[in-house]
Amino acid sequence: MQSLQDLLKEVDAILDSADTPEPTAAIATVPVSPIDRLLAGLQAHFGYTSFRKGQREIIEAILDGENVFAVFPTGHGKSLCYQLPALMLDGITVVISPLISLMKDQVDGLREQGIEAVSLINSALTWEEYQSELSRLQRNEIKLLYISPERLRSRRFLDILNAFPISLFVIDEAHCISQWGRDFRPAYLSLRDTLDVLQPRVIALFTATAPPDIQKDILNVLNIPTPRILTQGIDRPNLRLCVQPNKDEDEKYQQLERFLTNQRPHSLTASLGNLRTSPKNGIIYAGRRRETEEIADFLQQRGFRAGFYHAGLEPHERNRVQEAFFDDSDNGLDIVVATNAFGMGIDKPDIRYIIHWTLTGTLEEYCQEIGRAGRDGEDSFCVLFFCQDDRGLHEWFINENAPNTPFLIKLLRIIEGFRGIGEYRAIANEELEWMSGAKATKILLSLSYLEKLGFLKRWYNVPSQLSVRFHASWIEGMEPADAELRYLFRSLREIRSRTVLELSEATGLNPKAVMEQLAELQNDGYIQYWGQEDLLLIELLQDSELLGTLTDEQIEVGDYVRRKQSQIDQVIVYALEATCRTRVIRNYFGENVAEDYRCGTCDLCQDSRQ
């Protein structure tokens, strides 16, 4: 592990070796400024000689002990904004991220840079690997610890972390906290309790897409002191924004073929500038699963190496398509036509274009998706095929998913009627869909309403069937010292068919406590358990009779419709903008941009130069 003092010595050595003249008697020696030390640290650890716009401001705020909320464009280097401070601070930096693959990529990248004081603790580790990482932590060999939010369900793991000074607590992809966000993750809600336990010195939130109202919702959920909000918006000059009007689907197919064969109308030609050949790697986003398959078939018939991707495919099929897109050989795919299921974790640096076949529901979603283009810094093209009729698709989704008071009462009564232990229910989403007659999105949204209103609390997903392996070293009579853990441990040895509810009945523990103690037994190395986490664990707090006494105004059922329609309106404003598209986006994300601002790279700014 490299201490802060060792780092400063290393930085001083770099500064001392610079090719500068020795000070003379007439020239006083100028002390090294903190900014110089940051630059030297940047070069020592990452090999860079300068910061990108906004990075240094975030790093200085963190080192000064300020909480930070950074809204940075995708591909702008936000990970460095917490990795460098982590190496400079005395304690440990904890990083919460929603995808194991994203965390693994960052850890692998740091180790390739020669930075070994990093660790990734997740459910994929064996018991031996987990114990090895805990030993490294206890030997103070870890400065930067990546963990998933689900790991924090273990109180004992929190106690282990709490034994160390947490200098920085980072929440990456912070938009997952907001229940209004597309990528909402219920496990992120537990971070409020985690922060109360760990009391980190500094909290830093990072996301590429969080307009002011989402920022406010996130901060309300976490209940943390108001952070310093630093916004860079989507100002990535290598992304060429363009909107291509189309009157119907047939014209979209014509425009798509022209784009891919370098036969473009004037509006596209102006935006695409010096692009002389057909771009190779790209993603086409469509709103319906059926559309992804039809567009991919259209392209395949014309000789393009295209595949489709949506949530209806089997997991192995989704993996095959994603791997083929990353395969640059003749066996790979150049184009993936996808729904928004093709999302986080798509980190291919040379994606040259993103085409949106239909409007997205929000500008956040649009910016997330176009942000996957041009991560190598080269020009890439973001084209929206705009048709006025496309709004109808989103209006249908809104009406289909909007909760109302009768449905909320119906759903709560269905949950109450499920077999459970005390006030706890373990329910499959598929069962809720079948019994309520509603789609998954409406159910998840309605659960959010019921939780916000205080009628239930979602804890996390639990397995419908548990498989347990006892660690070899514990079979010979050694048992946990803690009485509650010992009781559950013995029950696991005796019960053949293991479900969370059966374990609850056998031990007298509620299902939440069972899951927490299973995590403790696994963390301590007594067992290893696994199972597909396919049941939602819900705690009932108020009954449906009380819900029936509330008015629509009290429940605020119209809030969802108003919010979603407002979000679509913003996408329409972007599509119909007449001066500068980047200005619309930057204003939406809370930047104060002058009315006469021109980005110089979107189709409108290019047209004004013609």
Instruction: Report the 3 state secondary structure along 522-561.
Output: HHCCCEEEECCCCEEEEEECCCHHHHCCCCHHHHCCHHHH
pLDDT at 25: 35
Query: Do 63 and 25 sit in the same domain of this protein?
Result: yes
Query: Do 106 and 251 sit in the same domain of this protein?
Result: no
193: in domain: yes
Which are the contacts of 29, defined by CB distance < 8 A and separation ≥ 6?
A: 23
582: in domain: no
Query: Do 273 and 319 sit in the same domain of this protein?
Result: yes
Task: Show the tokens assigned to 178.
Answer: 């907001």
Query: Do 108 and 226 sit in the same domain of this protein?
Result: yes
Query: Do 307 and 225 sit in the same domain of this protein?
Result: no
Task: Count up the domains in the chain and report the number.
Answer: 4
pLDDT at 515: 86
Helix, coil or strand: residue 540: strand
565: in domain: no
pLDDT at 445: 84
Helix, coil or strand: residue 97: coil
Instruction: Tell me the residue type at 69.
Output: F
CATH of residue 483's domain is 1.10.10
Query: Do 120 and 138 sit in the same domain of this protein?
Result: yes
Alpha-carbon span 591 to 47, nearest angstrom: 31
Query: Do 71 and 137 sit in the same domain of this protein?
Result: yes
Task: Show the tokens assigned to 218.
Answer: 């996130």
Closest by CA to 6, choosing from 117, 132, 95, 93, is: 117
517: in domain: yes
CB count in 10 Å sphere of residue 113:
13
Encode 414-434: b = buried (16+ Cβ within 10 Å), e = exposed. bbeebebbeebbbbeeeebee
294: in domain: yes
pLDDT at 64: 93
570: in domain: no
* Structural domain for 429, as ranges: 403-462+540-556
CATH of residue 446's domain is 1.10.10.10
Query: Do 517 and 412 sit in the same domain of this protein?
Result: no
The number of angstroms, rounded, from the C-alpha of 39 to the middle of its chain's C-alpha atoms is: 29
- Contact status, residue 603 vs residue 242, Cβ threshold 8 Å: yes
174: in domain: yes
Residue 122, φ and ψ in degrees, nearest 5: -150, 180
Question: Which of 309-314's residues contact partners 24+ apart within 8 Å by CB, and which partners?
Answer: 309/336, 309/337, 309/338, 309/339, 309/341, 309/342, 310/338, 310/339, 310/341, 310/342, 311/339, 311/341
Task: Show the tokens assigned to 560.
Answer: 């969802």
pLDDT at 65: 93
Ranges of the chain with pLDDT below 70: 1-35, 74-75, 123, 179-186, 233-235, 263-279, 344, 472-477, 496-497, 608-610
CB count in 10 Å sphere of residue 250:
9
Alpha-carbon span 177 to 190, nearest angstrom: 10
Alpha-carbon span 171 to 103, nearest angstrom: 12
- Contact status, residue 53 vs residue 188, Cβ threshold 8 Å: no
Query: Do 217 and 344 sit in the same domain of this protein?
Result: no
- Angle in degrees, CA 31, 36, 37, rounded to 5: 95
The domain boundary residue, chosen from 206, 231, 256? 231
Query: Do 247 and 378 sit in the same domain of this protein?
Result: yes
Residue where the block lists tokens 């990734």: 120
Query: Do 375 and 410 sit in the same domain of this protein?
Result: no
Counting every residue written for the chain, the total comes to 610
Alpha-carbon span 602 to 355, nearest angstrom: 15
Instruction: Tell me the residue type at 6.
Output: D
Q: Phi/psi class of residue 47: alpha, beta or left (left: φ > 0; alpha: ψ in -120 to 50)?
A: left
Query: Do 197 and 225 sit in the same domain of this protein?
Result: yes
Closest by CA to 394, choosing from 208, 559, 211, 571, is: 571
Angle between helices 363-370 and 558-576 (to 10 degrees): 50
pLDDT at 233: 61
Name the DSSP letter for residue 29: P
568: in domain: no
- Contact status, residue 286 vs residue 357, Cβ threshold 8 Å: yes
Beta bridge partners, 95, equal 146, 170
pLDDT at 27: 34
The domain boundary residue, chosen from 231, 261, 276? 231
